[in-house]
Amino acid sequence: MKRFLLTLTLMSVLLLTGAAYAGTNAQISGTVTDENGNPLELATIKILGTPITVKTDEDGYYSRTDIEPGTYDVVCSSPGYVDFRFESVLFISDVRRTLNFTLSKESGITTEIRVTVEATRRMIERDIVDTRKYLSEEQIEKLPADNFYDLMENEAGTVNDDGYMHVRGGRATEITYMVDDMAIIDPISGYAGTSVSNIAIAEMAIISGTFTAEYGNAQSAVINMVTKSGSTETWEAIVRGRMEVFQTTKEFSSEKVLASTGEPDPDSVPVTWTTRTRQANYWKVEGAFGGPITNFMTAFFSGDYFINGGQLPRDEPREEYNAQGKLRMSFAGDPANPNNKNMSLTFSGTLNQFTRQLWDVQWQYTLDNYIYQARDTYQATALWKHLVSEKTWYTLRGNYYNSWTHAGIRWGEDDWHYETVDGELTKVWNNGDAWGEHTMGGWKWWEDYDQNRTQAGPDGWFYTGGDMRWFEDIYETIITAKGDLQTELDKHNLIKAGVEYKYYDVEYFQRQPLPTNTYGDFYHVFPWQGAAYIQDKMDYSEMVINLGLRFDYFDPNTTYAENPMDYQGRDPDSEYEEFDDIPRVESTPKYQLSPRLGVAHPITEFDKIHFSYGHFFQMPVFRFLYMSNYEPVQGAYPILGYPDLKPEKTISYEVGVQHVFRIPGSGPDDPGRSILLDVTGFYKDISNQIDTIRYDHPLGVYNYTRTTNADWGNVRGVEVVLDGAWTDWFSSKISYTYSIARGLSSDWRQGYDYAYDGWNLPLEANILDWDITHTINVMLDFRYEGFGLNVNTNLGSGTPYSPPVETGGQANINSERMPWLINVDAKATYNIELWGLDFGVFVEGFNLLDRWNITNFGANEGGGSGSDWTEFYHNYDDENGPWDDMEVYGEPLQLRVGASVSF
């Protein structure tokens, strides 16, 4: 009873200071005894490759909860006893690894006893109370994957809908991506705002459904990537390169389009053209190195550079750089005990830069005049960590995130000429500006866009001149301060708590210059948010309970006009002359308390059931809050954000059962095999999602549309996973997901689009755009000596689409299905050790069946217009659409070769 009251008191006190901490640390505990079972006090346990050492208490018990995920050797020593070493122990975030040592008296013959532990995750982690999939560094190396999105795609409950990731039926913006405990979300779009090279990832955790209270600002999943740190023992390095050697192509010609739309006018001159997908210009080089600089300092650095042309015939490929670095210094707080480094200071950072040319089938013959996009993102983190005792530690962390994104038209060779100025040949822009004015690093200023667009082809489908009318500049700065505390009260209670404050400085500028008008948007806002959480992990032999409470707070920190049309430029009867005269309303802060509960019942070593429940809070992305609220509204049918939007909410439930099937060994030296069956059922109730609502003046003087919390939905499903090694050289992971995702709408613009088309808004939930009812993932892995082969097969029952609407009809939302999606990827490797170095060669194949999977039906789906892809598919069985759009398809067959060297 006293322990319960102490726990309750501490939780109440810590909740006053709160936290938003994510689990990036593994745990270890156990006992040390002699051969007679007597506890050994002050025995030393050291985790090699880290600065961590821990001593046993009078009961021979030890515990540490601040271990970075990875594979380490663990050594136990005590004076007068033979050292005992567990080799290759895998540590996983938020999971307790129990290692019990029995030490033998020194005999003068043996100085150390070694036991090799297979560096794989245990079949059943008894203290996990939710659904988590972990990928270690070794597993990532085996997979045919370019980035962390590819790593997600093979897991149960995950759907890749034309490049947008969805987990358990949620929207793509409901996922929080984290690197080393820091979110990397772009606040305007809601997607990941930077990238991390796979070579830098020590562990990736995919936490879906009802994650614990330490995770916030997400409704569907948390993707938590822990990057590598330099070892304290040895230096390690790797260099790897790969390039594409083959990609299938497909030809598109005008004859197919004309056959789809009917015979051409016999009196007209036929216009013919041919377009072919291209051989991708893909290559990538990456490297990493790390190790001890001094006896108290370690470092790790990694980076990659790659070019990817893709299958679309762009003029220029995507070009991207990634770099990561981490420098850690460890200190001893007690000069009398210099080996006990209980304090550390870590500096880390990431850099991501890319440029790419976007694609639209209508602009394929004048891509110089279509949109390019560039982004520069970097973040820097300083982390102070202090181990107050072997059971209690805290961290103080500061993070600076900065991003610049631009989309627009680049200057081309035809946009400038040479003139003689002051006797020298000088570049001059054709518009008369001197060289250096309006260059923007090679980008056109929106006022310099060529407005004289020309079109050619059947019915003028293709652009042959002029610029695409889009200009966008985004500057984002996010400053984060966090303080976290973790303490192990006793063997059964692990408390986590802390605080987080996040400040935003976001500037958005966008223009659409048209011949008769210029549309655009501008805002510069300074919102801020805070969060607090506390949770207790109560670990007993027959039950593990994770009970937590989270508090989230968000202040939009702005003003807005309740009626943005209430000025005389829009309404002659208004009392306000100008837009700036309209009274502004202060936005109100939003907050929520979210309880989380997870229970795991390990029945035996081979059986476990778990249940979890939670409330989840997430603010809408910033564009839905702020767009078009700070300038006079433009256009006949404007859309505005609403700064007083409520947070989106999800209530989630899941229940699961795990059972390990034991396959007996063939003899006394064969321990047999373990195969895990994991079955999880889930249900999500979703509310306050973003849609749009139209406001009309009673006399028809004006109308405008604003974002609103009008959408709701639900998702239910079951995941079945069979995972394990069948022999020493063959293992597999097979998963099946049945899921039904329904909601009032799939797109935040639904209210706007339906009002424009004159349709009635749906009153009942419909199948969502990214719903794939049946998904099957099969991973087969073969390892024999230095050879390895990993084959991944993904099957999906096809995403839904809305058939075309007859004139005067109503949309029949997502009543049809696209064909099944089938994809097979593989990676074959061969590694050999020579001259103290590890050499490797590999071959990667993507879409080995060369199946042209339909992944994107383009624009205006279900709109019923003559430019609707779904009309061609539904009426003519022609999925290419009116322009033979090659972007309808996913990636074709691709083959790559590569090599690596490491030590």
DSSP 889: B
Q: What is the mean pLDDT of residues 602-621?
A: 94
Both tokens assigned to 178 = 């984290």
If pLDDT is split at 50, 70 and 90, which confidence band does 21 have? very low
Radius of gyration for the chain, computed over Cα atoms and rounded to the nearest angstrom:
30
DSSP SS3 for 831: strand
CA dist 473 and 236 (Å) reads 41
Q: What is the pLDDT of residue 348?
A: 94
If pLDDT is split at 50, 70 and 90, which confidence band does 812 have? confident
Residue (of 579, 585, 586) closest to 562 by Cα position: 585
Residue with tokens 């954000």, as numbered in its chain: 641
DSSP 595-642: EEEEEEEEEETTEEEEEEEEEEEEPPPHHHHHTTSSS---SSS-EE--
Identify whether the C-beta of residue 844 lies closer than 8 Å to the C-beta of residue 243. no
If pLDDT is split at 50, 70 and 90, which confidence band does 681 have? very high
Label residue 119 exposed, middle or buried (CB < 10 Å: 0-12, 13-18, 19+): middle
Residue (of 878, 853, 757, 734) closest to 813 by Cα position: 757
| Across 62-66, 584-588, 711-715, least confident range | 62-66
Contacts of residue 424, Cβ cutoff 8 Å, sequence gap at least 6: none
Q: Are strands 543-555 and 274-276 parallel, antiparallel or unpaired?
A: unpaired
Identify whether the C-beta of residue 435 lies closer than 8 Å to the C-beta of residue 417. no
Q: What is the pLDDT of residue 259?
A: 41
CA dist 302 and 180 (Å) reads 15
Q: What is the pLDDT of residue 413?
A: 61
Residue 8, H or E segment = helix 2-15
- Phi (first) and psi of residue 6, to 5 degrees: -65, -45
Identify whether the C-beta of residue 87 lies closer than 8 Å to the C-beta of residue 116. yes
C-alpha separations of 304 from 146, 288, 307, 884 in Å: 11, 9, 10, 36
Whole-number average pLDDT of the chain: 85
pLDDT in tens, 140-167: 999 999 888 899 988 999 988 877 899 9
| Across 184-193, 375-384, 692-701, 799-808, least confident range | 799-808
- Taking the CB of residue 216, how many other CB atoms lie within 10 A of it? 25
If pLDDT is split at 50, 70 and 90, which confidence band does 505 have? very high
pLDDT > 90 fraction of the chain, expressed in percent and rounded: 50
CA dist 835 and 903 (Å) reads 10
What are the b/e assignments for 581-606, b being 16+ CB within 10 Å? ebeeeebeebebebebbbbbbbeeee
Q: What is the pLDDT of residue 846?
A: 94
If pLDDT is split at 50, 70 and 90, which confidence band does 269 have? very low
If pLDDT is split at 50, 70 and 90, which confidence band does 385 have? very high
Query: Could you tell me if residue 850 is left (phi over 0), alpha (psi between -120 and 50 degrees) or otherwise beta?
Result: left
DSSP SS3 for 156: coil
CA dist 340 and 330 (Å) reads 9
Contacts of residue 633, Cβ cutoff 8 Å, sequence gap at least 6: 564, 565, 570, 579, 640, 704
Q: Are strands 607-618 and 590-604 parallel, antiparallel or unpaired?
A: antiparallel
CA dist 808 and 787 (Å) reads 63
Residue 873, H or E segment = helix 869-876
What predicted TM-score, i.e. pTM, was given to this entire model? 0.86
Cross-strand bridge partners of residue 537: 494, 546
Task: Kindly tell me if the per-residue pLDDT of 537 is higher than 50.
Answer: yes
Identify whether the C-beta of residue 179 lies closer than 8 Å to the C-beta of residue 195. no
Contacts of residue 544, Cβ cutoff 8 Å, sequence gap at least 6: 126, 127, 129, 537, 538, 599, 600, 601, 602
pLDDT in tens, 300-318: 999 999 988 877 777 778 8
| Across 407-411, 715-719, 789-793, least confident range | 407-411
CA dist 864 and 868 (Å) reads 6
- Phi (first) and psi of residue 261, to 5 degrees: -100, 0
Q: What is the pLDDT of residue 15?
A: 36
If pLDDT is split at 50, 70 and 90, which confidence band does 455 have? confident
DSSP 668: T
Contacts of residue 434, Cβ cutoff 8 Å, sequence gap at least 6: 428
CA dist 583 and 560 (Å) reads 8
Q: What is the pLDDT of residue 333?
A: 66
Q: What is the pLDDT of residue 3?
A: 38
- Taking the CB of residue 189, how many other CB atoms lie within 10 A of it? 15
Both tokens assigned to 186 = 């772009």
* Largest distance between two CA atoms of the chain: 104
Both tokens assigned to 637 = 């049918």
Q: What is the pLDDT of residue 263?
A: 42
CA dist 314 and 310 (Å) reads 8
CA dist 173 and 191 (Å) reads 6
Residue (of 534, 712, 703) closest to 171 by Cα position: 712
CA dist 525 and 544 (Å) reads 44
Task: Kindly tell me if the per-residue pLDDT of 279 is higher than 80.
Answer: no
| More reliable by pLDDT, 697 or 883 | 697
Contacts of residue 184, Cβ cutoff 8 Å, sequence gap at least 6: 177, 178, 192, 193, 194, 196, 350, 379, 401
C-alpha separations of 511 from 123, 187, 265, 624 in Å: 55, 20, 40, 18
Both tokens assigned to 24 = 């990036």
